[in-house]
């Protein structure tokens, strides 16, 4: 009888264990339900897409995309406009630079659904048929590229740079904010500062600066390098 009473008796420790188990189940249940719902939504996928119409290089493009898709991925993966390059994908290299309403924008940091009603221009839209944009021609004339991976972003940024100067925009190194530089007297330092958001792993910066100078109407420096040669001096024994 004593053994039967002991077997049927609930100890304080077992009671607390049962209570915590029940409480844990009650807390975990909503979380598990939410996870299951999220997994179901992920599988369905297409229900979260939006109908978007974008104006790109003068043409209207209508497509269904998720709100989280960047403009860069939309251009490359959905529209086949692969001129805009995916470099760092963090807005640090500038290889994905495009023009939106005339302003340069990192397309990897921009959501495509936010660009409805705006004028988007990529590297494919700068030339007019077989006639290159003056900046494109200047890059060729001055060897403003080597591997060419960053070149589309460099060119789009340079086009925007020239337009910014025409509008009287100053930079962080402009000495007098009331008198911004004009294209004719745009200094090399100003060009480098204004293009500092675009990186070139090949280090073709001299050619890029020269290309902007040519497109601005200036005379770019000669691409021939000046080599200084001097006879070595003999060291006395």
Question: What's the pLDDT at 174?
Answer: 95
Question: Which residues of the chain are modeled with pLDDT < 70?
Answer: 1-46, 223-229, 237
Question: What's the pLDDT at 129?
Answer: 93
In angstroms, the CA 182 to CA 139 distance is 21
Question: What's the pLDDT at 16?
Answer: 54
Question: What's the pLDDT at 159?
Answer: 98
Residue 52 forms part of a structural domain: yes
Residue 30 forms part of a structural domain: no
Give how many domains the chain has, as a whole number.
2
- CATH number at 114 reads 3.10.20.30
Complete edge-to-edge strand list for the sheet that includes strand 119-121: 59-65, 50-56, 119-121, 97-100, 103-106
Question: What's the pLDDT at 190?
Answer: 96
Question: What's the pLDDT at 81?
Answer: 98
Look up the pTM and report it: 0.75
Question: What's the pLDDT at 1?
Answer: 53
In angstroms, the CA 23 to CA 87 distance is 50
Question: What's the pLDDT at 30?
Answer: 53
Residue 65 forms part of a structural domain: yes
State phi, psi for 105 to the nearest 5 degrees: -140, 140
Same-domain check for residues 118 and 131: no
Question: What's the pLDDT at 230?
Answer: 72
Same-domain check for residues 130 and 120: no
28-49 in b/e form (b: 16+ CB < 10 A) is eeeeeeeeeeeeeeeeeeeeee
Residue 134 forms part of a structural domain: yes
Same-domain check for residues 73 and 151: no
Give the domain range for residue 130. 126-219
């Amino acid at each position: 009888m004593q053994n039967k009473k002991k077997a049927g008796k609930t100890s304080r420790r077992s009671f607390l264990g049962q209570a915590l188990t029940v409480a844990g189940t009650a807390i975990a249940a909503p979380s598990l339900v939410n996870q299951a719902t999220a997994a179901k939504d992920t599988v369905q996928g297409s229900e979260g897409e939006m109908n978007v119409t974008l104006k790109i290089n003068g043409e209207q493009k209508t497509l269904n995309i998720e709100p989280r898709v960047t403009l860069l991925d939309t251009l490359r993966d959905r529209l086949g406009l692969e001129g805009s390059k995916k470099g760092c994908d963090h807005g640090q290299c500038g290889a994905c630079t495009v023009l939106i309403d005339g302003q340069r924008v990192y397309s990897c940091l921009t959501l495509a659904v936010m660009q409805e009603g705006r004028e988007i221009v990529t590297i494919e839209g700068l030339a007019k048929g077989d006639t290159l944009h003056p900046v494109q021609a200047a890059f060729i004339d001055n060897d403003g590229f080597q591997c060419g991976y960053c070149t589309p972003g460099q060119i789009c940024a340079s086009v925007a740079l020239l337009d910014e100067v025409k509008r009287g925009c100053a930079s962080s190194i402009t000495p007098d904010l009331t008198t911004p530089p004009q294209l004719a007297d745009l200094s090399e330092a100003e060009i480098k500062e204004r293009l500092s958001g675009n990186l070139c792993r090949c280090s073709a910066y001299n050619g890029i600066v020269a290309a902007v100078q040519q497109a601005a109407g200036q005379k770019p420096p000669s691409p021939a390098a000046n080599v200084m040669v001097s006879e070595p001096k003999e060291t006395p024994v």
